[in-house]
Amino acid sequence: MGTTHFACAAFLLSSLAVGQTPPCLAFNDANTNVNANIVTSYGFGGQNSLAWQITPQTTLAVLAAQIYTRNTALTGDRFMMLEIWSDNNGLPGSRITGGAWRIVNARPFAWQGTDFDGVAVLNANTPYWVVWVEPGFSNPPLETGGFDVLPKTQRTGTGAWGAVTNESPKIRLFCNQFDSPHMSMYGPFCFTSGGSLPSVFSNEDPAIGNATFLLETSGSPSGVPVFVALGLDPTYVSNWPGLTPPGCFQNTDIVEALLLTSGTGNSRGPTCASHASVTLAIPADNALIGLTLAAQSVPFDAGAMAPLPFATSSAARFVLF
């Protein structure tokens, strides 16, 4: 992790048309009603996993997920994860894909989540599990009396899954990598030699005066260098540099490259496997409204057969407001 301040005077005016793509499957997301007084326990056997069973009516290719939650009780670098698991006789079977994001205790209740490190193809009329992994003392994304009631189970650490009950979680699944009213994704992504999908995203709004705008990457191999390329050209055209693996494109100009390291831990920190993040301070200057910043994750891929063994994500283009 690290912190940097970008040179705001150099930003270019963006003509991007951005907007949030609706989820392709959602549960209890029509409102933000949750009980703020309910928190999870701190499992001394390890991090907590809460799982809700879903059965899509149509086949979906899911790339990201969100829940409605906050975390306020734990300090330090803590994380949450959302994963898709197969079903094994009415309980979670094995992990299919997932991703992590860093908890920001100053963030209020919000829809927050992560891009996945792979594509979860969910077959129609087949049960799967959405698994939320958290460190403890977190606010569950539950709506009392919610319309969508799902089977639920949980466990501590790697213990056995508990008895199945029913709950109404607030979940959104996306058939695209994250976008928002102020962020759009541009350019192709490529998988690492190990089959993981790098991404760059944010759970924060790129608002002027946001001194703690958090840029996150997921889907990198664990414990490897990860460059985050920052660009200023909103009209940049993707191209293959010629030295990276075939299909691994440069999707933004590079004004600055930040060197991070992907994590190796779990939701209790101090790092989280495959995840890295950096804070960008956005000055409180109205002259910056409408300007753009692009970011691309470029993790080292030891198994790549190329002169530059790096995978590349799509670029996230943020428009300040």
Please name the residues in contact with 287: beta carbons below 8 A apart, sequence gap of 6 or more. none
Which overall architecture, per CATH, does domain 25-174 show? Sandwich (2.60)
Q: Rounded to whole angstroms, how far apart are CA atoms 126 and 87?
A: 9
Q: Which residues pair with 59 in a beta bridge?
A: none
What is the rounded CA–CA span in Å between residue 191 and residue 193? 7
Tokens of 257: 């490259």
Give the containing element (helix H, strand E) for 166. Answer: strand 165-167
Residues 6+ apart with CB under 8 A from 192: 198, 219, 220, 221, 299, 301, 303, 304, 311
Cα–Cα distance for residue pair 258/3, rounded to 1 Å: 10
Q: At a CB cut-off of 8 Å and minimum separation 6, what does 37 contact? A: none
Phi, psi of 21 (to 5 degrees): -75, 130
Model pTM? Answer: 0.91
pLDDT, residue 72, reads 74
- For residue 221, what is the DSSP state? P
Sign of the alpha-carbon torsion through 23, 128, 271, 185: negative
Name the burial class of residue 129, with classes exposed (0-12), middle (13-18) and buried (19+) by CB atoms within 10 angstroms of its CB.
buried
For residues 38 and 34, give the distance between their C-alpha atoms in angstroms, rounded to a whole number.
Answer: 9
Q: Please, where in the chain does CATH 2.60.120 lie? A: 25-174
Q: How many CB atoms lie within 10 A of CB 53?
A: 19
Degrees, nearest 5: CA angle 304-235-5: 75
pLDDT per residue, tens digit, the chain (321 aa), is: 333 333 322 332 233 334 689 999 999 999 999 988 899 999 899 999 999 999 999 999 999 999 999 987 788 899 999 999 999 999 999 999 999 999 998 889 999 999 999 999 999 999 999 999 999 999 999 999 999 999 999 999 999 999 999 999 999 999 999 999 999 999 999 999 999 999 999 999 999 999 999 999 999 999 999 999 999 999 999 999 999 999 999 999 999 999 999 999 999 999 999 999 999 999 999 999 999 999 999 999 999 999 999 999 999 999 999
Structure tokens at 300: 């080292």
